[in-house]
A and B are shown apart, each in its own frame.
Chain A
Amino acid sequence: MKRFWSANNFTLTALSMLMAVVIGGVLIIISDATVLAKFGYFTARPSDAFESSWLLVSTAYADLLKGALGDPAVFSAWFSGEATWQQAFAPISETLTYAAPLVFTGLSVALAFRGGLFNIGAQGQAVLGCIAAGVAGFTFGLPIALNLIVAVVAGVLGGALWGFIPGLLKARTGAHEVITTIMLNYTAGLFLAWLVIQQGIQAPGRSDAISKAVAESAQLPSPGGVLRVHLGIILAVLTTAGVAWLLNKSAFGFEIRAVGANPHAAKTAGISVAKTYVLLMAVAGGLAGFGGATQVLGTAHALTPSVAGNIGFDGLLVALLGRTRPWGTLFAALLFGALRAGGNRMQSFSGISLELVTVLQALIVIFIAAPALVKAIFRLRASRATGLGASLAKG
């Protein structure tokens, strides 16, 4: 217990989530007119206000959990034979579906971060990944398996190109990667918006901005039906293992960590800092492009201007929540996927806007990034193992 109350990573993460959930609850209450009305006569009958607030918030969060992990009622219906197993596992399938691209974009940001680079461009790289994978997916018409592999590789290369540019600019001219990647994000978004309405790309007979559908042989295999989960999540786990190996066991990973810890020392030790930056950004871009490819080939199946959604920026939060460790990023992506899947149910069942999930995610990461704040609020004892604050304070 004593160890729990010291400020270790686990405690900080748990308390950050707790605070985010509490603030989210307050937001739900103050944005509900009927409950708020009961606070009008709070002094006369405080129980009324408390009861209705509790009911509102607990139903909302219960729906969030049911949408993310599964509804006990549906599980018991499955056991008694009134529902199929697919229905019982649909919520988890949703969680994994939303998590898959976030693992890739999160890994992209996390890997770059370990090399001392702040890759805000995961969004643009993911968009390029979407474009390349999508176009390859409906153009080549190769036989099964081969078509999928070509499309995925195209996506990775597209993202790698978009990561290579800021890496090269940083190495050659010293242009700060935060600025260049932000600019490239919007450039990529506008390019996609232009591309999907071009002849040969736009779906025939459609006047709105949507491309042709990706060929079935280029789609990531999925059980189908209510289960939208696809091969992408397995690829994500494998990639996490690959990135963990790359970072911790390979020579290149050592160079990344050395440059990230101290570029001057790394240069003195004979590591080419410029080469590491360029290669690192290309690899990070490739990861984000992979994420974009899973989004198109696994879920969307066609290009639209918003096909990449917010996966790049969410990946940034995921990497921070995962403390820029590969496996941590995987778990953070699963948490974000769960919040997103649960948020959908919360929106349709309790009528609480899905945007609450964005607020929760942002709050969690704000608290995680400011361990001193959480420590001050909960009067935790200081601990040696609060790595993130120190590693983020470098810029």
Chain B
Amino acid sequence: MSTTTVEEMAEVTAPEPFWSRQRHLGVALILIGGLAAVVFGSLAPSEDARFTLSEDSAGAALAINGQFGAVLFGLLTAAAGGVLLAGLLKRWSNVFLVAGILSFLLSFLCWQVAGEFMPLVDTTDGTLELALPLILGALAGVLGERSGVVNVAIEGQFLMGAFAGALVGTMAGSVWAGLLSAAVGGVIIAAILAVMAIRYLVDQVVVGIVLNLFALGITGFLYERLMQPNAQEYNQPPQMPEWRIPGLADIPVVGPVFFEANLLVWIALVLVVVIHFGLSRTRWGLRTRAVGEHPTAADTVGIRVRGLRYLNVLLGGVVAGIGGAYFTLVATGSFTKNMTAGAGFIALAALIFGRFTPFGAFGAALFFGFAQKLATYLSAIGSPVPSQFLNMLPYLATLIAVAGLVGRVRAPAADGQPYIKG
């Protein structure tokens, strides 16, 4: 996204003031750590918080006294903050930051889970499942944005993919036909985005937003005209089978999550690695990054800027369309109106929070998936923490990230700018 920042125009500030970013973060961590130790610690009942390795409350478990855990991890958060504030080990400041945030999370969990149990398999499984469309959507975004095309139409591509997957999957009676046409559905939206943004130079954010509404309208319209009156014929797609890899699936926690899964999980994981290496190690990746950072320079050395952008946006459409298939072929057995309900925007948030890199987006998507899973888990055990606030987490985290409070997010330099051959 083109960022005409005000700051860039301001005068150069003095180098390295005492209150550096690191020290600010240190103070923040000490404050929330102390708060966690006092508030969570006093609220938590003095009972065991059990994190079971199985689906139910029986069996092997990691257990800790809830009150003790809440105080302990709160103090650890504050300690990590103390290291940052003291300015020690500057090279490792990010590690301490992550450690501080994680122990804050654990302190919170000790308070919530005390007297209850949290099945780790179910939690990890649910996290990955909820993160699945986010991973694919964010990867679609990575492909487009790294070549300089902003894609806010991930939501629309999800919807189109979900719809096409359900429709064709049912009519052909094959889940693979559904998956293929989901990809085509995503490509349709991507193609309109590409033509409008690259050929007709319309503002990419405008096209993206309008395409979201277009996809919402057209899938809703066809749903009400075709699928609702005739669900049997058009809206009962077969479900994606779960495959189990013998041996590997018996590993505790990790096994059932990764090795007894549907194809989409593996597609997503493979794509993260493939796109990462593609971007950093191949000719295509180098060219993509060049086009996204400085299209004029790329053009000068003979790279076809527009052609590459078309290619990347369409590839992104394939990936996002497959992400849409998750909604109808994996999560639920049928299409409903506006069923993605903003997931495309969480994927966008994951993309930005992950700093436009495949692994970053993957990590952010897992984090957001975990927040959602935690929200459902907490409301199931009757926690006083409202699920809406946990669901806000992805948005607030991204807000903090782009505001530069936790390291500035920098978009590709030519992101959002159409290239006019001069």
Contacts and interface: CB of A to CB of B under 8 A. Distances in A.
A393 B420 CA distance: 11
A322 interface: no
B221 A394 contact: no
Contacts of B345: 182, 186
B217 A320 contact: no
10 contacts: A120-B209, A169-B403, A172-B7, A182-B349, A263-B6, A267-B9, A273-B9, A356-B217, A369-B207, A395-B416
Interface stretch (A91-99, A140-148, A250-258, A357-365): A357-365
Interface of B: 1-9, 150, 152, 192, 196, 200-207, 209-214, 216-218, 220-226, 337, 342, 345-346, 348-349, 352, 386, 388-389, 391-392, 395-396, 398-399, 402-404, 408, 411, 416-418
Contacts of B348: 182
A11 B99 CA distance: 61
A31 B402 contact: no
A27 interface: yes
B399 A183 contact: yes
Nearest to A124: B395
Interface string A92-121: 000000000000000000000000101010
Nearest to B390: A190
A31 B226 contact: yes
Nearest to A310: B213
Contact of B214 (A171, A179, A187, A362): A362
A265 to B, nearest CB: 11
Contacts of B9: 263-264, 267, 273
Contacts of B4: 116, 263
Contacts of B217: 355-362
A27 B210 contact: no
Given A173-B403, A179-B1, A274-B6, A366 B388 contact: no
Contacts of A274: 6
Interface string A298-324: 000000000000000100110010000
Contacts of B212: 313
A182 B345 CA distance: 8
Contacts, number: 172
A174 B8 contact: yes
Given A173-B7, A313-B209, A393 B214 contact: no
Nearest to B395: A183
A281 B201 CA distance: 26
A191 B200 contact: no
Nearest to B196: A370
Given A190-B389, A393-B202, A362 B1 contact: no
A55 interface: no
A178 interface: yes
Contacts of B386: 194
Contacts of A392: 202-203, 206
A43 to B, nearest CB: 25
Contact of A317 (B150, B213, B346): B213
A191 B213 contact: no
B388 to A, nearest CB: 4
Contacts of B203: 118, 369, 392-395
A175 B396 contact: no
Nearest to A376: B200
